[in-house]
Amino acid sequence: MVEMSHSSHTACVSLVPIFNHLDNESMAKIATKAKHRDLKRGEYLYQAGDDEDSIYIVHKGQVRVFHLSENGKEQLIRVLNPGEFTGEWTLFSSDTYHDNFGEATRNSAICVISRDDLGELLKEYPEISMKIMQAMSERLSQSEKQTASVAIESVTNRIIYYLEDLTSGEAEDDVTLKLPMARKDIASYLGTTPETLSRRFKDLEKKGLIEQLPKNTIRISSVEELLFATE
């Protein structure tokens, strides 16, 4: 485990919504509990079966969390960008194991806070518990939505609803989106194959509903018209 300066730990902690509502002195104190891990692209933060005994915060880079079925099929759960975290379930049991895999999709820097240290922090800053519960509630809601979509919606509809989710807070017309993950990861997240995803994107483009731009960017001329195209 590589050492990291205290100022860098503080910068890492300040990125996270479960901590950044605290004052600077409190965040600096939390930073003293953090340890550091550097991951190269393709390295695992954790694997299924590993002890789940820490919370992991992405400081730099990106980590994808995915599940492998018994037949080896991969299902993407989420992608973690700077300021996002995983391992929150470690708070509720001292004998838990990871069900999923966490893999760096690019060179990444991770802050790690152990279960014991986090437990002490929660006693001193109980408001953190509410922030964690809120984040877990949002993740469970998103997971249920994802499961239902894969079960009952066509691939085209899954793509449309996914793009619509990414436009939240944007104008209804002429929206340009930077896709937050690689196409193969989007395909895994939506429960399809990269080849099918590519074909459906091309179909939507032929209909004039989207435009595929360089650097993994999509332009949507009208979000409302895109939603009307659901099957």
Query: Which pLDDT score, from 0 to 100, does residue 24 have?
Result: 87
b (16+ CB within 10 A) / e for 146-169: beebeeebebbbbbbbebbebbee
3 state SS of 87:
coil
pLDDT over 90, % of the chain: 48
Does residue 134 have a pLDDT over 80? yes
Burial class (CB in 10 A: 0-12, 13-18, 19+), 62: buried
pLDDT, mean of residues 85-99: 82
Of 11-25, 59-73, 156-170, 204-218, which one has max mean pLDDT?
A: 204-218
DSSP codes joined into one string, 160-223: HHHHHHHTTTS-SEEEEEE-SS-HHHHHHHTTS-HHHHHHHHHHHHHTTSEEEETTTEEEEEEH
> Domain spanning 153-228 has what CATH number?
1.10.10.10
Of the listed ranges 59-63, 115-119, 208-212, the least confidently predicted one is 115-119
Does residue 168 have a pLDDT over 70? yes
Query: Which pLDDT score, from 0 to 100, does residue 7 have?
Result: 64
pLDDT one-digit tens code per residue, 8-40: 778 888 888 888 888 988 888 888 999 999 999
pLDDT, mean of residues 156-174: 84
Does residue 182 have a pLDDT over 50? yes
> Domain spanning 6-151 has what CATH number?
2.60.120.10
Where in the chain are the domains? 6-151, 153-228
Query: Which pLDDT score, from 0 to 100, does residue 6 have?
Result: 56
Query: Which pLDDT score, from 0 to 100, does residue 41 have?
Result: 96
Maximal CA-CA distance, the chain: 57
b (16+ CB within 10 A) / e for 185-208: bbbbbbbbeeeebeebbeebeeee
Of the listed ranges 56-60, 64-68, 148-152, 217-221, the least confidently predicted one is 148-152
pLDDT one-digit tens code per residue, 62-89: 999 999 888 888 899 999 999 999 988 8
Q: Per the confidence metrics, is the pTM higher than 0.75?
A: yes
